[in-house]
C-alpha cells in the first residue's frame, strides 16, 4: 500500500486515481500470500536445532547403552551365581561324605566291640572313596582322650601324643584329640593332638557342642602353602536324641572327624571347568567377621573392573561361618558400538537435515525477497505503462489543437500567391501535418486500447454497405493509380450482423489503406466469407492440390497479376462463391448458432513485406524498414491497432506475403447473428437504400477474368439483377437469346473491349424490341479513350470502378431511366454519409450561449437536420416532455441553473417513468420501442473524466465543441445507423 | 475583372493576416464552411449575434466589477459566456484573454479582473473592427460580381 500511495502521489490530477486503484488491486492479490519461513536469525535456529538434537542423541545413546550395560550386568550375575552354586554344591557333597565317614567311624569303631576299623582299613577306605571328596585334601579321625586316659591310650597306640606346632610330646592337658586314623595323604597327622592347634581346638569344641559340621576360618594349611579351611564333625559314642543338650553332646563325644579343604586349588579347579573363565575374576571371602573379611581365594589386590562387581552368598553348611563370593570382570566393559554408531549417525543425519532446512530457508527468503521486488517492479512497470498511455492520450490531445492551427495556416498560405518552390514547401508541410494528425489519432486509439478503455459495442449493421463505404474512400486513390479495387461478400454471410461496425470499418480501412499505399499496379481485393466455409474449402482444396494440377497463376486472380497467397486464386475461389451445389462438406452453423465467424481477407499485389520484417508487422511503430516510411509515409501503428481490435472482436489476424508479389492479410472476427425480431424493420434502417427497381432484370457480363466477373456479378446480384458471364462480346450476342432470354444490359470490361472485340455486332444483331444497354466497366479512362468509347457505341454509360452496389444502382438508374435521378453527385466522403444520417432528423440543441447555439444549429442544419434550440436545461426539459418528436439532443454541459448532466439525468428519469408505465399498460403501435433519446454532450475539453461523467449521467457520447465533421459523424453514426428512421418524417 | 481579382487577393491577404495575428482561428474557417446557398448570411448572422452578446456581456462585467462587493461567481459566468461565444466564432485573442480573466476570477483578484476587462474590451473592439472590415471587403467583392475566395 505504501508503494501504491507513493506512486499515486507522483502522478497528478485524475491520473493517480487510475494508478492507485491499479496498485491496490495488485497489492490486494499480493497480500493473500503469507510466508511461514522465519525471515531472520536462521543461524540461531540452526544452532538451537543442533543443540536440541545433540541432547536427543545423547539420550538415545544412554537408552541403548543402558540396555547393553544391563545385559553385561546380568551376564555377570548369572556367571557369579552359577559359580557360587557349584562351589556350594560340591562343598556340601564333600561335607555329606565326611558326615558319612563320621557315621562309619561311629558305627564300626564304637558300636562294634571290638572295633572293626583300624588305621589300615580307614586308610584304604578313605583312599578308595577320595573321589567322592574332591575338595578335601585328606581326612583324619581324632579320638577324644581325657588326661586320665592318656597313658592307656599311649600305651595302646605305641606312641605319645604330640602337639601340632612342633610335633613334640604334648604337655599335660585336660583333654586331647590325637589322630588315630588318617588318610594316607595326611598320615603325618598321626597321633598329633588336634586340640593343640588354636583353630582346630576351637573347631572341635564348637563341633561337639553343636553336633554339626563346623568350619575353621581360612588359614595356611599344614604341608602346603594354600589357604584352606578345616571341617570338623563330631563322632558320638551313642546315638543322641535330636534335642540333646550341649552337655549331653560333650559327654557323648567319642572323637572328631576332620578334613582340610584346600579352597584355593579347589576353586581354581572348579573355575577351570567353566566357560568364560578368562573374563571374570572370582574372590571368595570368609565374612564371619564382617568388618574384616578374610580372603579364601583370589588375590587381595584391586584389579579388573571395579565398577561392576557382584556378590553371591555361599552357604557351606556351617551357620556360624559366613562366606561370600565376589565376581568382577577382568576387563572394563567394551563401549557399546551399536549405541555409539546409532546415536552418531542419527545425529549426523539430523545435522545435515538441519543444514538443509537452514539453506532452504535462506533460499526461500531470498526468493521471496526477489519475488516481492519483482512484484513491486511489476506494479511500478504497470503504473508506468498506464502513465505512459495517459501521457500519450493527453499529449496527443494537446498536440492536436496547435496542429489544427498549423494546418489551417498552411491551407491559407497555399491559397496565396506563391512561387512554385514556396508552394512545394507549403504542400509538403501540409502533408506532414496531416500525417502527424493521423498519427496522433492512431496513438490516441492505441493508448485507449492499452488502457483497456476501448469496449466494443454490439449493434446490428450491414456488412456489405460498410465495405462499400470503405471502398469508396479509396476509390479516388485507386483510380489515380489505376489499380483494380474490388470487394466481394459471400452469399452465405448474413445481411445484418451484430457487432461494432465502427471498429470493423476501422480494421478494413486500415488494411485496405495499407494495400493502396503499397500497391502501384494490379489489384486490391477484399473478400468476406464464413470462416467455417473458408476452412472447409481450403482443406478440400489442399487435397486436389496434392494431385499436382497446378496451372499458371495468371488470369486466376482479380487483375491477372500473381498474388501472394496462391490458394486465393480462382481454383479455390470458384468453390467459395458457388453457392448452390457446394461440393464440400461444410460444418455450417445454421440457425442454431448465435455467432457468425467471418473470414475477411485483403489481397493486394503491392511490394510485399520483406521476409526479415514479417515478424515485426504487428508491432507498433514497426515498418518493414525505415526507408519504407520515408517513401510511403505512415507510422506502422495501424496494423498493431488492427490486431488489437481484431483480437477484441474474438478473431485473429494473419498474413501471407511475398516480396515484390504482394501481401494477403486475412482476419477472422466473431459477430452475433442478428435476430429478426429485435429490429422492427431492418430493411428500412440498415440496408443501404438500394433501389429494388432492378429486380428481375437480366444482365450479361463480358469478362475474361472469372474473379473480376464474380465481383461484378456480386454487385449486380445485390440489386436483384440476374447475371450471366460470358467470355467475349460475340458469345454475349449469340447467347443473348439463349438461356436467360434477351439481356437488358451488357456490361463490358474495358480490357475486353480494347482487346479488339467489336461492339457493332450487338448493334447489328440488336433486333427485337429494344436493344440492350451497353455499359463499359473501367478502373480508369483517359480522355481520348472516353471519346473512343463514345464513338464505339458506349453511348449509354461508363461505370468507374471500384464497383459499389449503390453506385451501380445510380448508373443503372441513369441508363435505364428508371426511378428518380440521384440527388447530388456520388461523393465519397463522410459528409455525404453524415448528410444521409442526419437528413430529416429532428435535433434539439441545448446551449445557453446564443452564438454557440447558432453555430451548432448551423452545422447540423448543413447536414440536413431539422434543428430546434433551447437556451437552458429547463427549456430543454419542457421541450422533451414525452411524447416529443426529437431524434437526438446535443447538450452543452456548463450552463447556469441546470447544467447538462443534471438535465440529462432528469430526461432519463422521465423516460424510465414512461417506459415503466408502458410495459405495464396495453401495447400500442408506438410502444414497441422504449423511449431513449440519444443525448450527446457538447464540450470544449474532451478529457476522460468528463467522458465518464457523461456516461454516469446517462449521456450516450460527446462531441467536441466546436464541431468537427468526423467526430460528429462518428458519434452520430452510432445511433442513427442502428436506429430506424422515424416513420413520421417523410 | 482585374478589380475583382485584386479585391479577392486583398481579401485573402487580409484574412491571412487576421489568422496570422491570431485574431481568428480555424473555427472561423469552419463557420465559413457552414455557409452555403441555403444559408447565405450565416457568418454575418453569427458574428453580429456575437457582437450583440459581447456588448451586453461587457456592460454586465463592467457593472459587476464596480460593485462594492464583487460577485466573482457572477463575473465568472459572464466570462465563461464570453469565452464560449468568442471561441465559437473563432475570435482567438478574445478567447485567450477570457482564459486569463477566469483565472483572476478564481483568485478573486480585482485588479487582475479590471485589467483583463480592459484587455478583453480592447481585443473585442479590435476583432470587431477587423471583422467589419472583412465583411466590407466581402460585400465589395460580391458587388463587383466576384465570388468570395474559400479559405481552406
For residue range A396-433, list pLDDT tens digits in order: 777 777 887 888 788 888 878 888 888 888 888 888 88
Interface mutation target, options A408, A426, A839, A859, chain B, most CBs of B under 10 Å: A408
Q: pLDDT at residue A370 above 90?
A: yes
Q: pLDDT at residue A14 above 60?
A: no
Local structure of residue A291 (DSSP, 8 states):
T
Chain B CB within 8 Å of residue A416 CB: yes
For A388-502, where are the E strands, in sequence order? 459-462, 484-489, 496-499
Chain B CB within 8 Å of residue A193 CB: no
Say what the alpha-carbon torsion angle A372, A378, A383, A385 is, to the nearest 10 degrees.
170
Query: Please, which contacts does A161-165 make with residues 24 or more away whose CB atoms are closer than 8 Å?
Result: A161/A191, A161/A192, A161/A193, A162/A191, A162/A192, A162/A193, A162/A196, A163/A192, A163/A193, A163/A196, A164/A192, A164/A193, A164/A194, A164/A196, A164/A197, A164/A200, A164/A222, A165/A196, A165/A197
In this complex, the residue of A404, A416, A964 whose CB is nearest that of residue B16 is A416
Q: pLDDT at residue A292 above 90?
A: no
Please indicate whether, in this complex, the C-beta atoms of B77 and A896 are within 8 angstroms of each other. Answer: yes
> What residues have CB less than 8 Å from A524, skipping those under 6 apart?
A474, A478, A483, A484, A485, A486, A512, A515, A516, A602, A603, A604, A605
Query: Do B46 and B35 touch, CB atoms closer than 8 A?
Result: no
In this complex, the residue of A412, A847, A896 whose CB is nearest that of residue B151 is A412
pLDDT for residue A4: 40
- Give the sign of the dihedral formed by CA A681, CA A683, CA A687, CA A692: negative
Averaged confidence pLDDT in chain A: 75
What ipTM does this complex have?
0.83
- What's the pLDDT tens digit per position in A811-850? 777 777 643 333 333 333 445 566 667 777 888 888 888 8
In this complex, the residue of A404, A411, A417 whose CB is nearest that of residue B151 is A411
Query: Do A321 and A294 touch, CB atoms closer than 8 A?
Result: no
Query: Do B71 and B61 touch, CB atoms closer than 8 A?
Result: no
| Lowest-confidence pick of A646-650, A887-891, A925-929 | A925-929
How far is Cα A52 from Cα A50, in angstroms, rounded to an integer?
6
pLDDT for residue A310: 84
Residue A567: pLDDT band (50, 70, 90) is: low
Q: pLDDT at residue A238 above 60?
A: yes
Please indicate whether, in this complex, the C-beta atoms of A413 and B30 are within 8 angstroms of each other. Answer: no
Q: For residue B140, count other CB atoms closer than 10 A to its CB.
A: 15
Chain A CB within 8 Å of residue B29 CB: yes
Chain A CB within 8 Å of residue B11 CB: no
- The alpha-carbon gap from A840 to the nearest alpha carbon of chain B, in Å, equals 16
How far is Cα B39 from Cα A123, in angstroms, rounded to an integer?
176
Query: Do A177 and A140 touch, CB atoms closer than 8 A?
Result: no
- What's the pLDDT tens digit per position in B114-150? 888 898 999 899 889 988 988 888 888 888 877 777 6
pLDDT for residue A224: 67
A516 or A734, greater pLDDT:
A516
Return the C-alpha cell found at A36. Answer: 511461514
For A77-178, where are the E strands, in sequence order? 136-143, 145-146, 175-176
Residue A349: pLDDT band (50, 70, 90) is: very high
Residues paired with A329 in a beta bridge: A280
Please indicate whether, in this complex, the C-beta atoms of A858 and B27 are within 8 angstroms of each other. Answer: no
Chain B CB within 8 Å of residue A828 CB: no
pLDDT for residue A546: 46
Return the C-alpha cell found at A780. Answer: 480508369
Q: pLDDT at residue A685 above 50?
A: no
Going from the C-alpha of B48 to that of each of A256, A442, B44, the distances in angstroms are 172, 39, 6
- The alpha-carbon gap from A777 to the nearest alpha carbon of chain B, in Å, equals 35
| Lowest-confidence pick of A32-41, A428-437, A682-691, B75-84 | A682-691
Q: pLDDT at residue A373 above 90?
A: yes
How far is Cα A756 from Cα A740, in angstroms, rounded to an integer?
26
In this complex, the residue of B13, B19, B31 whose CB is nearest that of residue A408 is B19
How far is Cα A249 from Cα A210, in angstroms, rounded to an integer?
8
Please indicate whether, in this complex, the C-beta atoms of A894 and B36 are within 8 angstroms of each other. Answer: no
Chain A CB within 8 Å of residue B9 CB: yes
- Residue B25 with chain A: CB contacts under 8 Å: 405, 408
pLDDT for residue A596: 85
pLDDT for residue A533: 77
Of A746, A11, A671, A704, residue with least CA distance to A388: A11
Max avg pLDDT among A228-237, A314-323, A672-681: A228-237
Q: For residue B106, count other CB atoms closer than 10 A to its CB.
A: 10
Kindly report the pTM of this predicted structure: 0.43
How far is Cα A850 from Cα A873, in angstroms, rounded to an integer?
14
Residue A855: pLDDT band (50, 70, 90) is: confident
Query: Do A778 and A479 touch, CB atoms closer than 8 A?
Result: no
Query: Do A602 and A485 touch, CB atoms closer than 8 A?
Result: no
- Residue B89 with chain A: CB contacts under 8 Å: 851, 855
Residue A353: pLDDT band (50, 70, 90) is: very high
pLDDT for residue A625: 55
pLDDT for residue A828: 35
Closest B-chain CA to A417:
B9
Chain A CB within 8 Å of residue B53 CB: yes
| Lowest-confidence pick of A119-128, A215-224, A787-796, B101-110 | A787-796
Going from the C-alpha of A853 to that of each of A99, A869, A890, the distances in angstroms are 155, 7, 10
Please indicate whether, in this complex, the C-beta atoms of A404 and B26 are within 8 angstroms of each other. Answer: yes
Q: For residue A577, count other CB atoms closer than 10 A to its CB.
A: 19
Chain B CB within 8 Å of residue A968 CB: no
Residue with cell 482564459: B99
How far is Cα A260 from Cα A189, in angstroms, rounded to an integer?
12
Residue A52: pLDDT band (50, 70, 90) is: very high
For B50-76, the DSSP string reads HHHHHHHHHHHHHHHHHSSS--HHHHH
Peptide bond into A962 cis (omega under 30): yes
How far is Cα B31 from Cα B28, in angstroms, rounded to an integer?
5
* Chain center to CA of A154: 122
Please indicate whether, in this complex, the C-beta atoms of B34 and A859 are within 8 angstroms of each other. Answer: yes
Strand order in the sheet with A323-329: A294-297, A280-286, A323-329, A309-314
Q: pLDDT at residue A379 above 90?
A: yes
- Give the sign of the dihedral formed by CA B40, CA B43, CA B44, CA B50: positive
Residue A149: pLDDT band (50, 70, 90) is: confident
Query: Do A775 and A801 touch, CB atoms closer than 8 A?
Result: no
Residues paired with A283 in a beta bridge: A326
Q: pLDDT at residue A681 above 50?
A: no
In this complex, the residue of B88, B149, B151 whose CB is nearest that of residue A852 is B88
Local structure of residue A262 (DSSP, 8 states):
-
- Residue range B89-115: average pLDDT? 86
Query: Do B101 and B76 touch, CB atoms closer than 8 A?
Result: no
pLDDT for residue A374: 95
- Residue A849 with chain B: CB contacts under 8 Å: 53, 81, 84-85, 88
- What's the pLDDT tens digit per position in A68-107? 888 888 888 888 888 888 888 888 888 888 888 888 888 8
Of B56, B4, B7, B47, residue with least CA distance to B27: B47
Closest A-chain CA to B27:
A962
Q: For chain A, what is the radius of gyration of the CA atoms?
A: 66
Amino acid at each position: 500500500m505504501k508503494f501504491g500511495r507513493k506512486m499515486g502521489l507522483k502522478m497528478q490530477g485524475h491520473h493517480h486515481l487510475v494508478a492507485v486503484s491499479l496498485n491496490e488491486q495488485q497489492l490486494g492479490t499480493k497480500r493473500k500470500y503469507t510466508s511461514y519461513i522465519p525471515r531472520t536469525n536462521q543461524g540461531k535456529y540452526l544452532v538451537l536445532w543442533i543443540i536440541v538434537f545433540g541432547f536427543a542423541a545423547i539420550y538415545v545413546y544412554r537408552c541403548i547403552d543402558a540396555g547393553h550395560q544391563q545385559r553385561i550386568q546380568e551376564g555377570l550375575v548369572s556367571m557369579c551365581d552359577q559359580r557360587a552354586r557349584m562351589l556350594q554344591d560340591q562343598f556340601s557333597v564333600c561335607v555329606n561324605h565326611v558326615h558319612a565317614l563320621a557315621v562309619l567311624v561311629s558305627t564300626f569303631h564304637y558300636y562294634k566291640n571290638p572295633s572293626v576299623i583300624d588305621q589300615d582299613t580307614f586308610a584304604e577306605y578313605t583312599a578308595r572313596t577320595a573321589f567322592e571328596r574332591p575338595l578335601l585334601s585328606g581326612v583324619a579321625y581324632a579320638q577324644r582322650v581325657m588326661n586320665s586316659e592318656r597313658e592307656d591310650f599311649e600305651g595302646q597306640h605305641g606312641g605319645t601324643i604330640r602337639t601340632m606346632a612342633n610335633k613334640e610330646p604334648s604337655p599335660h592337658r585336660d583333654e586331647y584329640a590325637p589322630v588315630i586314623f588318617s588318610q594316607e595323604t595326611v598320615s603325618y597327622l598321626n597321633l598329633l593332638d588336634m586340640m593343640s592347634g588354636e583353630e582346630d581346638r576351637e573347631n572341635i569344641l564348637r563341633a561337639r557342642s553343636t553336633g554339626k559340621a563346623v568350619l575353621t576360618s581360612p588359614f595356611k594349611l599344614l604341608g602346603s602353602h594354600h589357604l584352606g579351611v578345616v571341617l570338623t564333625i563330631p563322632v558320638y559314642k551313642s546315638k543322641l536324641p535330636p534335642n540333646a543338650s550341649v552337655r549331653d553332646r560333650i559327654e557323648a563325644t567319642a572323637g572328631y572327624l576332620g578334613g582340610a579343604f584346600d579352597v584355593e586349588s579347589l576353586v581354581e579347579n572348579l573355575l577351570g571347568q567353566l566357560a568364560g573363565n578368562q573374563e571374570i575374576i572370582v574372590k571368595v571371602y570368609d565374612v564371619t567377621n564382617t568388618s574384616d573379611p578374610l580372603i579364601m581365594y583370589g588375590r587381595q589386590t584391586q584389579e579388573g573392573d571395579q565398577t561392576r562387581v557382584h556378590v553371591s552368598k555361599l552357604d557351606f553348611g556351617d551357620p556360624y561361618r559366613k562366606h561370600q563370593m565376589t565376581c568382577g570382570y577382568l576387563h572394563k566393559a567394551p563401549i557399546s558400538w551399536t549405541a555409539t554408531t546409532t546415536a552418531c549417525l542419527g545425529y549426523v543425519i539430523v545435522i545435515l537435515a538441519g543444514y538443509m532446512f537452514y539453506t532452504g530457508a535462506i533460499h526461500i527468503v531470498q526468493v521471496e525477497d526477489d519475488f516481492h521486488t519483482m512484484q513491486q517492479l511489476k506494479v511500478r512497470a504497470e503504473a508506468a505503462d498506464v502513465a505512459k498511455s495517459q501521457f500519450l492520450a493527453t499529449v496527443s490531445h494537446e498536440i492536436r489543437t496547435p496542429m489544427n492551427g498549423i494546418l489551417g495556416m498552411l491551407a491559407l498560405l497555399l491559397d496565396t500567391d506563391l512561387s512554385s518552390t514556396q508552394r512545394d514547401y507549403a504542400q509538403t508541410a501540409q502533408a506532414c501535418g496531416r500525417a502527424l494528425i493521423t498519427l496522433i489519432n492512431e496513438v490516441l486509439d492505441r493508448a485507449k486500447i492499452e488502457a483497456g478503455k476501448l469496449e466494443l459495442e454490439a449493434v446490428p449493421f450491414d456488412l456489405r454497405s460498410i465495405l462499400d463505404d470503405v471502398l469508396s474512400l479509396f476509390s479516388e486513390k485507386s483510380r489515380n493509380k489505376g489499380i483494380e479495387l474490388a470487394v466481394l461478400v459471400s452469399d452465405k454471410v448474413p445481411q445484418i450482423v451484430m457487432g461494432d461496425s465502427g471498429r470493423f470499418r476501422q480494421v478494413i480501412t486500415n488494411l485496405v489503406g495499407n494495400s493502396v499505399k503499397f500497391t502501384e499496379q494490379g489489384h486490391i481485393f477484399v473478400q468476406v466469407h464464413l470462416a467455417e466455409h473458408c476452412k472447409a474449402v481450403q482443406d478440400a482444396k489442399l487435397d486436389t492440390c496434392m494431385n499436382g494440377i497446378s496451372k499458371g497463376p495468371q488470369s486466376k486472380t482479380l487483375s491477372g497479376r500473381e498474388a501472394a497467397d496462391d490458394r486465393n486464386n480462382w481454383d479455390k475461389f470458384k468453390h467459395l462463391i458457388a453457392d448452390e451445389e457446394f461440393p464440400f462438406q461444410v460444418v455450417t452453423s445454421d440457425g442454431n448458432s448465435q455467432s457468425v465467424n467471418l473470414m475477411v481477407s485483403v489481397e493486394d499485389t503491392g511490394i510485399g513485406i520483406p521476409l526479415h520484417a514479417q515478424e515485426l508487422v504487428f508491432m507498433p511503430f514497426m515498418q518493414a524498414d525505415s526507408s519504407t516510411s520515408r517513401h510511403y509515409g505512415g507510422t506502422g501503428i495501424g496494423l498493431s491497432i488492427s490486431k488489437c481490435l481484431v483480437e477484441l472482436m474474438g478473431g485473429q489476424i494473419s498474413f501471407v506475403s511475398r516480396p515484390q508479389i504482394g501481401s494477403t492479410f486475412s482476419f477472422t472476427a466473431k459477430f452475433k447473428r442478428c435476430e429478426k425480431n429485435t429490429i422492427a424493420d431492418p430493411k428500412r434502417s440498415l440496408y443501404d437504400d438500394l433501389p429494388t427497381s432492378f429486380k428481375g432484370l437480366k444482365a450479361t457480363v463480358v469478362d475474361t477474368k472469372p474473379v473480376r466477373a464474380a465481383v461484378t456479378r456480386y454487385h449486380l446480384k445485390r440489386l436483384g439483377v440476374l447475371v450471366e458471364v460470358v467470355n467475349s462480346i460475340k458469345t454475349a450476342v449469340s447467347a443473348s437469346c439463349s438461356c436467360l432470354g434477351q439481356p437488358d444490359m451488357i456490361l463490358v470490361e474495358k480490357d475486353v473491349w480494347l482487346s479488339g472485340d467489336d461492339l457493332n455486332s450487338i448493334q447489328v444483331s440488336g433486333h427485337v424490341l429494344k436493344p440492350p444497354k451497353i455499359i463499359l466497366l473501367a478502373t480508369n479512362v483517359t480522355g481520348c479513350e472516353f471519346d473512343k468509347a463514345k464513338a464505339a457505341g458506349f453511348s449509354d454509360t461508363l461505370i468507374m470502378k471500384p464497383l459499389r452496389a449503390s453506385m451501380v444502382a445510380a448508373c443503372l438508374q441513369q441508363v435505364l431511366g428508371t426511378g428518380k435521378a440521384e440527388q447530388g453527385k456520388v461523393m465519397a466522403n463522410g459528409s455525404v454519409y453524415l448528410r444521409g444520417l442526419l437528413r430529416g432528423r429532428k435535433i434539439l440543441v441545448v446551449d445557453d450561449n446564443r452564438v454557440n447555439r447558432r453555430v451548432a444549429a448551423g452545422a447540423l442544419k448543413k447536414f440536413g437536420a431539422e434543428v430546434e434550440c433551447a437556451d437552458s436545461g429547463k427549456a430543454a426539459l419542457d421541450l422533451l416532455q414525452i411524447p416529443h418528436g426529437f431524434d437526438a439532443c446535443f447538450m452543452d454541459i456548463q450552463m447556469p441553473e441546470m447544467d447538462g448532466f443534471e438535465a440529462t439525468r432528469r430526461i432519463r428519469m422521465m423516460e424510465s417513468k414512461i417506459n415503466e408505465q408502458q410495459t405495464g399498460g396495453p401495447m400500442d403501435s408506438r410502444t414497441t420501442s422504449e423511449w431513449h433519446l440519444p443525448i450527446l454532450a457538447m464540450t470544449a475539453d474532451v478529457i476522460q473524466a468528463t467522458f465518464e461523467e457523461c456516461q454516469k449521467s446517462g449521456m450516450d457520447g460527446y462531441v467536441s465543441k466546436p464541431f468537427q465533421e468526423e467526430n460528429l459523424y462518428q458519434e452520430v453514426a452510432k445511433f442513427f445507423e442502428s436506429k430506424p428512421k422515424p416513420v413520421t418524417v417523410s | 475583372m482585374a478589380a475583382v481579382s485584386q479585391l479577392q487577393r486583398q481579401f485573402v491577404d487580409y484574412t491571412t493576416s487576421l489568422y496570422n495575428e491570431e485574431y481568428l482561428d480555424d473555427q472561423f474557417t469552419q463557420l465559413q464552411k457552414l455557409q452555403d446557398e441555403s444559408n447565405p448570411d450565416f457568418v454575418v448572422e453569427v458574428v453580429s449575434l456575437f457582437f450583440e452578446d459581447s456588448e451586453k456581456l461587457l456592460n454586465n462585467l463592467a457593472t459587476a466589477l464596480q460593485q462594492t462587493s464583487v460577485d466573482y461567481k457572477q463575473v465568472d459566468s459572464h466570462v465563461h459566456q464570453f469565452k464560449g461565444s468568442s471561441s465559437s466564432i473563432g475570435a482567438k485573442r478574445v478567447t485567450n484573454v477570457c482564459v486569463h480573466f477566469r483565472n483572476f476570477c478564481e483568485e478573486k483578484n480585482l485588479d487582475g479582473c479590471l485589467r483583463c476587462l480592459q484587455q478583453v474590451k480592447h481585443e473585442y473592439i479590435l476583432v470587431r473592427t477587423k471583422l467589419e472590415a472583412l465583411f466590407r471587403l466581402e460585400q465589395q467583392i460580391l458587388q463587383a460580381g466576384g465570388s468570395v475566395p474559400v479559405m481552406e
